[in-house]
Structure 1
Amino acid sequence: MAFTGELQENEEEKLIISLPREKGWAVPYVYLFQDFWYPSHAIQGVINSQKYFQAKDGDVIVASFPKSGTTWLKALTFAIVNRQHFSSHKNHPLLASNPHQLVPFLHHIFFGDFHDQISNMAEPRLFGTHVPFPSLPKSIQESNCKVIYICRNPFDTFIYFWYFFNKIKPETSPELTMEEGFERYCKGLIEFGPWWNHMLCYWKESIDRPNKVLFLKYEDLKDDISFHVKRVAEFLGCPFTQDEEISGVIESVINLSSFEKMKDLEVNKSGTTVLNIEKKYFFRKAEVGDWVNYFSLPMRETLSKIIEDKLSGSGLSFKTCP
């Protein structure tokens, strides 16, 4: 078995070396694999998950482009699905664990020794992913498991991405200037990018298969979280009962998963989680429209034009003015 593992690892290394590459953000390089840009470790995770992951009909996949509300949606989904098991908040897992630990990234699991972790997961199994829909394992695409996707206004996504990756970069690496980061972002040269194709893949699936993929916008959740929490529960086949609504269960789920609540928890103030990233870096501002404090007029015009060009005719749109 060890020899087989070494052989597979060598083959994957050869593949990565053969791929087109560009400068990364928090990693030295990103590689063009299956039409999207990945850090090398993610490629290995994607390949292994495509080969070995067997989705179950009850699985839930929380999908997103990075820095689009991933942590929040993971917390909300976990709280919604498990609300019968943890009716008391005193011992709720979200108070003791970071959402990324409760809803692990599939491509991270399959980068390591995944067999034990997968077999020991409680059902329904919840997974996160930044992987574009076409590169998800066939078993996810073809089974009855559910996919919830969240995206964010590309203006805010850039700012949060830029801040985040300057925080997690190696200490020996220089900070990425906003100008350099913006240039790469506009070209789609970003981890799991191009961001427009990432969004459009899930958008198209949500239109073609609304029972399979639920498409959410971060701004819509901020605007009416109660409506969308009920929408997620209905999509997952576990709608809130009238008694639950009357007794305040929806509000309880919302409060438990709120940015303010999670950021204030000791478990999210120290220590590390996925890829040894400090937990506190996953909680910045959670604001809509923060980009107006950073964008110059030329930047605004450039990104507005890209959004218009790339999303034209899709039916997907974002507000580009404050």
Structure 2
Amino acid sequence: MDAFAPKTKEEQEKEERTYQPYTEIMSTLPKVRGFAPQHLYNHQGFWYTESNLPRVMAVQNHFIAHSSDILLATNPKCGTTWLKSLIFAICNRKLHPSTQHPLLTVNSHQLVPFLELLYTNNEIPDLDILPSPRLLATHIPYSSLPQSVLDSGCPLVYMCRNPKDTFVSWWHFLNKISNKELKPSTLEEAFEMFCNGASIVGPFWDHVLDYWRASLDRPQCVMFLKYEEMQAETIVHVKRLAKFVRCPFSLEEEKEGVVDEIIRLCSYENLSRLEVNKTGEAMFGENEIKFHTFFRKGKVGDSSNYLTAEMTERLDRISEQKFHGYGLTLN
């Protein structure tokens, strides 16, 4: 059943009235020029695009989490596609043989949708019709999540990435999805905005720190992962991930190579060469995005090919200042 099943005219008008106050609230918020370039609006200390902020507000007011939900959270360009693939494969491994796996023909962003993008076209979707466990993703900061998520105790997995690679990957992504009407900023312009916090759901460091502190306060509910560590010791962290989302691998599965099989299936090398990810596309909010734009390199340290020594030093200095006293480092 479709979460966006046809609705009556009366239902549509009611939902449109629900969204109207969000537009009015936005008119009172601070705004700055963002990456794209487009304006970003500051809501609860973080920056959102004009199109996405009403959706975030709708999620905050209407999404009801279940204890069985599994929620993935990231800052954009921090390994989201990889994490979605891993979670889907882990949780559904008993349902799909590797030779007929959905990931072979369906992009992971369709299998694990962004929660805020389900609240589109001024609609309030009926997410209770989705099968349990509901696998959902979000870029919303921890402190801005709906209270129901915190109350439900559902597993919340956060993955971050060092700010240098995150910034460069994000800038390349915006270049790929730009068009004649929407030209991205130059690397230097975007870098200044990123350092000043004016990026989607930025400041980047506040977003990371938000989830880091939550993982320390509520380790039974919030798991904090680093992209670089996932790359270096994938088997170790995939097993940790499976246990955290209540789908642990049995000793028999480990002996049979199930963990290795999932890692191979979800690897950058495998996913990026699949036909669906080379030629497919889908709507993400108001934007039609080709799946191949989600696959650039995925390599740790690639930012060194784009950032000057001064840029690198500046990002490192900001990280040191922002994370000082919290026991967190992102190299």
TM class by shorter-chain length?
Answer: over 0.9
Q: Deviations over 1:20-42 (max 9, x none)?
A: 11112235111001110001222
Change (3 A) 1:185 1:296: same
Q: CA deviation at 1:89?
A: 1.5
Q: Do the aligned residues in 2 keep the contact of 1:270 with 1:278 (CA within 8 Å)?
A: yes
Residue in 2 that maps onto 1:255? 264
SS at match of 2:27: helix
Alignment of 1:140 with 2:149, yes or no, is yes
Residue in 1 that maps onto 2:200? 191
Partner Cα separation in structure 1 for residue 147 and residue 51 of structure 2: 20
Q: CA deviation at 1:171?
A: 2.2
Alignment of 1:219 with 2:228, yes or no, is yes
Residue in 1 that maps onto 2:8? none
More deviation, 50-59/148-157? 50-59
TM-score of the aligned structures, taking structure 1 as reference length: 0.95
Alignment of 1:280 with 2:300, yes or no, is no
Partner Cα separation in structure 1 for residue 132 and residue 183 of structure 2: 43
Question: Identity, % of aligned pairs?
Answer: 42
Q: CA deviation at 1:301?
A: 1.7
Q: CA deviation at 1:52?
A: 1.4
Residue correspondences, number? 317
- Please provide the CA RMSD for this pair: 1.3
Which ranges in structure 2 are unaligned for 5 or more consecutive residues? 1-10
Partner Cα separation in structure 2 for residue 269 and residue 122 of structure 1: 29
Q: Deviations over 1:77-128 (max 9, x none)?
A: 1101111111x12221111111100000001112343424x23322110001
Alignment of 1:121 with 2:133, yes or no, is no
TM-score of the aligned structures, taking structure 2 as reference length: 0.93
Alignment of 1:292 with 2:301, yes or no, is no
Alignment of 1:265 with 2:274, yes or no, is yes
Equivalent residue runs for 1:1-322 within 5 Å: 1-26=11-36, 28-86=38-96, 88-112=97-121, 113-116=123-126, 118-273=127-282, 274=284, 275-319=287-331
Partner Cα separation in structure 2 for residue 271 and residue 243 of structure 1: 36
Partner Cα separation in structure 1 for residue 154 and residue 36 of structure 2: 32
SS at match of 2:225: strand
Residue in 1 that maps onto 2:6? none
Residue in 1 that maps onto 2:4? none
Q: Do the aligned residues in 1 keep the contact of 2:35 with 2:184 (CA within 8 Å)?
A: no
SS at match of 1:276: strand
SS at match of 2:51: helix
Amino acid at match of 1:266: E
Partner Cα separation in structure 2 for residue 175 and residue 185 of structure 1: 13
Q: Do the aligned residues in 2 keep the contact of 1:262 with 1:268 (CA within 8 Å)?
A: yes
SS at match of 1:164: helix
Partner Cα separation in structure 1 for residue 312 and residue 41 of structure 2: 28
Amino acid at match of 2:67: D
Partner Cα separation in structure 1 for residue 259 and residue 304 of structure 2: 32
